[in-house]
Amino acid sequence: AQSVTQLGSHVSVSEGALVLLRCNYSSSVPPYLFWYVQYPNQGLQLLLKYTTGATLVKGINGFEAEFKKSETSFHLTKPSAHMSDAAEHFCAVSKAAGNKLTFGGGTRVLVKP
Amino acid sequence: NAGVMQNPRHLVRRRGQEARLRCSPVKGHSHVYWYRQLPEEGLKFMVYLQKENIIDESGMPKERFSAEFPKEGPSILRIQQVVRGDSAAYFCASSPTGGENYGYTFGSGTRLTVV
């Protein structure tokens, strides 16, 4: 069975500071990895995904993530936080294309002016 | 906009009533997934459907819950005899058939409140 662990349910950063959200997974097969953002009372928006190929993935809104197989990690970073980054962020994994997603518990990002 | 459409956005039901949640996938997407999000929690997989077939229902409660994706029309998640614990946000996602460039598109969800 797959599982996803997001370290830290809340992360507080100052505007302009580095954002780092941690995600570790367990999977019996090479995983497909995703980061989603959810604003209050809205659906999920895809930030980025890793399927195959280059392990450093760039997404929307200046976010990027690196797949590290040896560490079973897929941490999300952004060099400079913006107020619009204040939202819930979810890491997810699936076994294959078209397969169900398993989500982590989420990390809420708070951005201080 | 050809996104995933869910309706209603908000649904209030009294205990014991039935709730019907609808999901129209992105045009051309043949895979539909339903997820439930309890307050302050992540999303939990419920069921995966293709047209007229249930592919994986490992996350569905054994009783009162059912889902369908007919040949024509939206996918329906049906909850019979709702209880307070069913109060949650229910999200639908769709994806195209296969391929490494696939991606899931999520709807805005239906927020069910059982009173």
pLDDT higher than 50, residue B99? no
Cα(B95)–Cα(A97) distance, integer angstroms = 9
What are the tens digits of pLDDT across the range A11-44? Answer: 999 999 999 999 999 987 778 999 999 998 888 9
Q: Count CA within 13 A, CB hemisphere, residue A38.
A: 27
Residue with tokens 């709702």: B82
What is chain A's mean pLDDT, rounded?
92
- In B, what residues contact A, Cβ < 8 A? 4, 31, 33, 35, 41-45, 48, 56, 59, 91, 93, 95, 97-104, 106-109, 111
Q: Tens digit of pLDDT for each residue in B8-62?
A: 999 999 999 999 999 999 988 889 999 999 887 889 999 999 988 999 999 999 9
For residue A87, give how far its alpha carbon lies from the nearest alpha carbon of chain B (Å): 13
Residue A68: how many other CB atoms lie within 10 Å: 12
Query: Mutate which of B45, B53, B58, B60 to test chain A, going by most A C-beta atoms within 10 A?
Result: B45
Question: How do strand B53-56 and strand B43-50 relate by DSSP bridges?
Answer: antiparallel
Instruction: Count chain A–chain B contacts defined by CB atoms under 8 A.
Output: 55
Q: Is the peptide bond before B96 cis (omega within 30 degrees of 0)?
A: no
Helix H segments across chain A?
A: none
Written as one letter, the residue type at A80 is: S
C-alpha distance from residue A32 to each of A12, B19, B36, B54 (Å): 28, 33, 21, 22
- The CA distance from B81 to A22, in Å, is 40
